[in-house]
Chains A and B, each alone.
Chain A
Amino acid sequence: MWYLERDGLGRLIGLLAERGYRVIGPTVRDGAVVLDEVTGLADLPAGVREVQGPGRYRLERTDDGRLFDWAHGPDAGKRFLFPPRERLTEIRRGREGMRAEPAPEEDDRPLALLGLRSCDLHAIAVQDRVFLELDERYRRRRERAVLIGVNCAVPGSTCFCVSMGTGPRCTAGFDLALTELAEGFALEVGSRLGAELRDALGVRAATDGERAEVEAIARAAAERMGRSLDVADMPGLLYRNREHPRWGDVGARCLACANCTMVCPTCFCHDVVDDVSLSGETATRTREWASCFSAEYSWAAGAVVRESHAARYLQWLTHKFASWIDQFGVSGCVGCGRCITWCPVGIDVTEEIAAIRASDGAVEVRTA
């Protein structure tokens, strides 16, 4: 572990930019901590606290100048590694017939993602299992990216990473990880590239006191988790309760607005749409974020397969917490709680699952 002066973080941002990275970090916009391009310390959310709850997010100002005493806003690494809208192919009709070419990246600089929480690092590892082997564009962005974690000191009231085993301490998946101390930062190195950046920054070894402080911050954060979730027998619980009355109950509250899936750092569903020009000479193929809460998403064989909001909620939750494990060998939930905070009507996954568990087996599943 190493010690980095406070302005060393500014040097790190500058160093990454110098090396050609597009540095993405937390910044305040429209009343939330969002991720966007940052050029220096001044862009980071100094003296900001979050108040999160189901369907509610507010920022409060303090004058302490601390940079990372919040959990996270709606954005995660997904927005950059798996962009919400991405041109895939450009097609042109020529004399020799149609030619299709991969669309160029809109911004081809490698990504440096700064300020990721442990849950967000885990989420990237989850999306890696989805995209890394199959998707060349994702792989290229991912392999060139630098990931810089920041340990959570102040989790949100909708956070439950401890239950999901994904935080709050950054333990893997980063090149560098920071912990904000009273003056500067404790710095941990997770890769060869991280070590190289550390050397370029000029740091000193952390003292025993600083090491102890890092552990104390992580312990305190774990104790301040806003929520918890019992994940025992998780695939089984949801599979055997798919006729549970709670699905109808939550379906009556759910707007099917898709916000939970859009802010979920692991949800990867997308649509691929073609646009042809008026002249018919050119066309583009675009990938865009889509959601299992959209009726058009479950359009199959000439009909909407999941008609009710209850059916869509069941699909999402059961995939996220159960069949995801069968499919990818890991839970799709990293316990970040974004789906709770950013649900306009405040539906809480931890509450829904707890309600199902409370009357586990209330309705027996029909078997064919």
Chain B
Amino acid sequence: MTAPTKPRVAVFKMASCDGCQLQILDAEDALLELAGAIEIVHFAEASSDLRPGPYDITLVEGSISTPEQEAQIREIREASKVLITIGACATAGGIQALRNATGRLEEFVRTVYPTPAYVRSLEDSRPVADYVPVDLELTGCPIDRGELLRAIASLLAGARPRVSTSPVCVECKRRGTVCVVVARGEPCLGPVTRTGCGAICPRFGRGCYGCFGPAQAPGNAEALGRRFIELGLRPKEAADRFRFITGWAPAFREAAARLEEVER
């Protein structure tokens, strides 16, 4: 009998900034333990030794934004037992999804790139789950390293990873962070944004940007947007708060559309 082999893990990226992958490389304290528990066989950000599948666990960063990525994600899915998407791009389309549903892709490409002819892009930037089944989504811009490591540890232990769907407020209150909406009138997306970040922005006195995407269903982002209007934002400004890093996530997209109706 041979020694049990370590799970083979792959990391891929689509349309993204690499920030989520860096969360893995930054996991200094855990890297040794991680290396002892898994074998990373494909991780272009870390090594040029890229081995083929099949993979036990695959992490995918980035949105599907080009025809090549659409084809590649199907191959990756085929080669992966467990597929985990990481970050706002992979789970909600990312900041690049601002182009979605504008009908102005061509105009944007012409404005941004000196040689637009080289650019082949899909009309929309979309989350991976729009194309292939995804086993687990870890949201955030970037993801929380602790949440990723806990998810991997759970999988290695044969348990289903626990990813809370509760809002950021729960974490603010646990940490004793004073509410920036109530005590400062700051528009903060925390009440409708999924926790997982450790409530970083409110801890530094800022409103939450919603980078972890919508919290639990059914949600009520519109009611929070209406509160922003009471706090002094114009309806369009309130709507735009939801159209940011995770603006293409349905709950935020729909709330923004309804808030903009108020403007008209």
Q: How long is the Cα–Cα vector from A295 to B170 in the complex, in angstroms?
A: 13
B174 and A307 contacting across the interface, CB-CB below 8 Å: no
B182 and A56 contacting across the interface, CB-CB below 8 Å: yes
A308 and B166 contacting across the interface, CB-CB below 8 Å: no
Q: Give 1 or 0 for each of A280-322: 1 = CB within 8 Å of chain B CB.
A: 1000000011110011110000001001110000000000000
Question: Known contacts A278-B34, A309-B220; is A31 also within 8 Å of B178 by CB?
Answer: yes
Q: At the interface, yes or no: A257 with Cβ under 8 Å from chain B?
A: yes
Nearest chain A residue, comparing its CB with the CB of B154: A276
How far, in Å, is A277 (CB) from chain B's closest CB?
6
Q: Give 1 or 0 for each of B188-220: 1 = CB within 8 Å of chain A CB.
A: 101110000000000001000000000011111
Q: At the interface, yes or no: B49 with Cβ under 8 Å from chain A?
A: no
Q: At the interface, yes or no: A104 with Cβ under 8 Å from chain B?
A: no
Q: Give 1 or 0 for each of A240-258: 1 = CB within 8 Å of chain B CB.
A: 0000000000001111111
The residue in A32, A290, A344 that gathers the most chain B C-beta atoms within 10 A of its C-beta is: A344
Set A262, A304, A309: member contacting B170, Cβ < 8 A: A262
Q: At the interface, yes or no: A96 with Cβ under 8 Å from chain B?
A: no
Q: How long is the Cα–Cα vector from A172 to B196 in the complex, in angstroms?
A: 41
Q: At the interface, yes or no: A342 with Cβ under 8 Å from chain B?
A: yes
A276 and B170 contacting across the interface, CB-CB below 8 Å: no
Q: Give 1 or 0 for each of B138-178: 1 = CB within 8 Å of chain A CB.
A: 00000000000110111011010010111101100111111
Q: At the interface, yes or no: B257 with Cβ under 8 Å from chain A?
A: no
B219 and A256 contacting across the interface, CB-CB below 8 Å: yes
Q: List the B side residues contacting A280 at CB < 8 Å.
A: 37, 153, 156-157
B33 and A84 contacting across the interface, CB-CB below 8 Å: no
Nearest chain A residue, comparing its CB with the CB of B35: A278
Q: List the A side residues contacting B153 at CB < 8 Å.
A: 275-278, 280
How far, in Å, is B136 (CB) from chain A's closest CB?
15
Q: At the interface, yes or no: B92 with Cβ under 8 Å from chain A?
A: no
B223 and A255 contacting across the interface, CB-CB below 8 Å: yes
Q: At the interface, yes or no: A268 with Cβ under 8 Å from chain B?
A: no
Number of A-B contacts (CB under 8 A): 139
Q: List the B side residues contacting A2 at CB < 8 Å.
A: none
Question: Known contacts A58-B183, A258-B167, A273-B162; is A345 also within 8 Å of B157 by CB?
Answer: no
In chain A, residues 215-268, which have Cβ atoms closer than 8 Å to a Cβ of chain B? 252-259, 262-263
A34 and B178 contacting across the interface, CB-CB below 8 Å: yes
B164 and A296 contacting across the interface, CB-CB below 8 Å: yes
Question: Known contacts A278-B149, A278-B153, A279-B36; is A30 also within 8 Å of B170 by CB?
Answer: no
Q: At the interface, yes or no: B234 with Cβ under 8 Å from chain A?
A: no
Q: At the interface, yes or no: B30 with Cβ under 8 Å from chain A?
A: yes
How far, in Å, is B236 (CB) from chain A's closest CB?
20
Question: Known contacts A253-B223, A275-B150; is A289 also within 8 Å of B174 by CB?
Answer: yes
Q: How long is the Cα–Cα vector from A262 to B176 in the complex, in angstroms?
A: 10
B170 and A258 contacting across the interface, CB-CB below 8 Å: yes
A309 and B218 contacting across the interface, CB-CB below 8 Å: yes
Q: At the interface, yes or no: A85 with Cβ under 8 Å from chain B?
A: yes
Q: List the A side residues contacting B173 at CB < 8 Å.
A: 74, 84, 258-259, 262-263, 289
Nearest chain B residue, comparing its CB with the CB of A56: B182
Set B36, B178, B181: member contacting A278, Cβ < 8 A: B36
A259 and B169 contacting across the interface, CB-CB below 8 Å: yes
Nearest chain A residue, comparing its CB with the CB of B217: A295
Q: At the interface, yes or no: B258 with Cβ under 8 Å from chain A?
A: no
Q: List the A side residues contacting B178 at CB < 8 Å.
A: 29-32, 34, 73-74
Q: How long is the Cα–Cα vector from A30 to B202 in the complex, in angstroms?
A: 10
Q: List the A side residues contacting B152 at CB < 8 Å.
A: 278
Q: How long is the Cα–Cα vector from A84 to B158 in the complex, in angstroms?
A: 28
A259 and B179 contacting across the interface, CB-CB below 8 Å: yes
Set A84, A276, A278, A341: member contacting B159, Cβ < 8 A: A276
A: residues with CB less than 8 A from B are 29-32, 34, 36, 55-58, 73-75, 79, 84-85, 252-259, 262-263, 273, 275-280, 288-291, 294-297, 304, 307-309, 341-345
- 6 closest A-B pairs by beta carbon, nearest first, are A262-B173, A257-B191, A84-B174, A295-B216, A30-B178, A255-B191
Can you report 23 A-B residue pairs in the complex whose CB atoms are below 8 A from each other? A30-B177, A30-B183, A31-B178, A74-B173, A79-B176, A84-B173, A84-B175, A252-B220, A258-B169, A262-B170, A278-B34, A278-B36, A289-B170, A291-B170, A294-B165, A294-B216, A296-B164, A296-B216, A307-B218, A341-B182, A344-B169, A345-B223, A345-B224
